[in-house]
Amino acid sequence: MHTAPCIEEEYTLPSVEALMAGTLALLTGYAQSAPDCAHRSLMAKKLVSNLFFLSGHPQLSAPMQTMLGNLRTRWQLELEKDAPTQHASAPRSLWHATPEVVQ
């Protein structure tokens, strides 16, 4: 009797590696998303947050912390530069039409 191997994508990583893996996944998602994607600014905000925590993580070397801090600053500046245009051009769609009468 032959059983198929169980394919799982569950990993147990130390916290710094898990945070780094999540940040790399966000970077990939951001790079592959369309410029008008509604979630693009949220991904950028989460990237800034992750880079902030990584830049102060005690398990990383001082040069790595410095590099991540500089990277966070660049992402923060980019996020602030794009903020006014994102709010102005973000489409607002409603799930339901507004009722004319409220009971």
State yes or no: pLDDT of 6 exceeds 80. Answer: no
Q: Is the pLDDT higher at 93 or at 52?
A: 52
Q: What is the rounded average pLDDT of the residues 49-57?
A: 95
Q: Give the pLDDT score at 76.
A: 93
Q: What is the rounded average pLDDT of the residues 69-78?
A: 93
Which range of residues forms the domain containing residue 56?
A: 40-86
Within a domain: 13: no
Within a domain: 28: no
Within a domain: 64: yes
Residue 57 and residue 16 in contact, taking contact as beta carbons nearer than 8 Å: yes
Torsion angle defined by CA atoms of residues 52, 58, 63 and 69, in that order, rounded to the nearest 10 degrees: 10
Residue 41 burial (C-beta neighbours within 10 Å; 0-12, 13-18, 19+): middle
Q: Give the pLDDT score at 20.
A: 94
Task: Please give the model's pTM, rounded to 2 decimal places.
Answer: 0.68
Within a domain: 51: yes
Provide the mean pLDDT of the chain.
83
Q: What is the CA radius of gyration of the chain?
A: 20
Q: Is the pLDDT higher at 40 or at 6?
A: 40
pLDDT in tens, 26-41: 999 999 999 889 898 9
Q: What is the rounded average pLDDT of the residues 16-34?
A: 93
How many distinct structural domains can be found in the chain?
1
Q: Give the pLDDT score at 10.
A: 66
